[in-house]
Amino acid sequence: MANHPPTDSPTPRRRVALITGGSGDIGAAIARALSQTGVDIVVGYRERKAAATALVHELHAQKRRALCLQADITSREQVRTMIAQTIDAFGTIDILINNAGVLQQKPFQVITDEDWDHTLAVNLKGAFLCIQEVLPLMLAQRSGRIVNMASSGGQVGGSLAPHYAASKAGVVSLTRSLARLAAPDVCVNCVAPGLIDTRMTEAEIDSEAGTQKLCQIPLGHVGTVEDVAASVVFLATSAPYITGHTLNVNGGLYFG
């Protein structure tokens, strides 16, 4: 006779993912892909409320649990509020995806102090603040996954966006540091997309520099947001023996 589990067996708790920049092209793709694995989704956004709300409605229509929360991730107070609202709604945070970012194409000689400060504040300080506020919770529950979004520009440099490249190089280094600090219970990894077809990269793809970069990609084409999302899902839900790693999603543009 087959053994059956007791009828009062506890139902496994659903995992919860907080995705910053969740209303953007890559963030939305990550939200969709993670939700397909049964993860509850929090879509963080700063300005694009309509896009965030539409994404949540889309996930609800698929019987997924999701909500959207507004926050400026360069503000510690707003980051704390976003995290508190996530915990109030879903009980915890198991996965943090630091996806929010800005890209400005501008020659080095004319980058202003404000350009530099804003780029590093969003791309690097924002990840720092979110990790610093979420990590104690993950360490207390002795589990968690953090995936930071870098860029091939942070690995090879960027002639048209050196401030962006510098911020993303910082994300790679921050990932390595936090992987050591958060071990053994929390895995911290990084995804470094190359030339990906999004609204944020339209100007680069259409530029002469973008054409030259495309010629340097062995696979011969730009990537999709789904390519990036699949890599994020792998690090966020599988890969228990990987930490401190930068996963390159760039068609062979950079092999490091």
Catalytic residues: 164
Closest CA to 197 of 50, 18, 29, 54: 29
Question: Does residue 146 contact residue 131 with C-beta atoms inside 8 Å?
Answer: yes
At position 153, the amino acid (one-letter code) is G
Question: Does residue 186 contact residue 139 with C-beta atoms inside 8 Å?
Answer: yes
Tokens for 55, please give them.
Answer: 């994404």
Give bridge partners of residue 149 from the DSSP assignment.
191
Please name the residue that has the structure tokens 């084409």. Answer: 221
* Beta-carbon contacts of residue 198 (< 8 Å; ≥ 6 apart): 24, 25, 26, 225
SS3 state of residue 159: coil
* Beta-carbon contacts of residue 184 (< 8 Å; ≥ 6 apart): none
At position 112, the amino acid (one-letter code) is T
Distance CA 48, CA 21 (A): 9
Pairing of strands 95-98, 186-193: unpaired
Tokens for 132, please give them.
Answer: 């610093």
Tokens for 242, please give them.
Answer: 């990987």
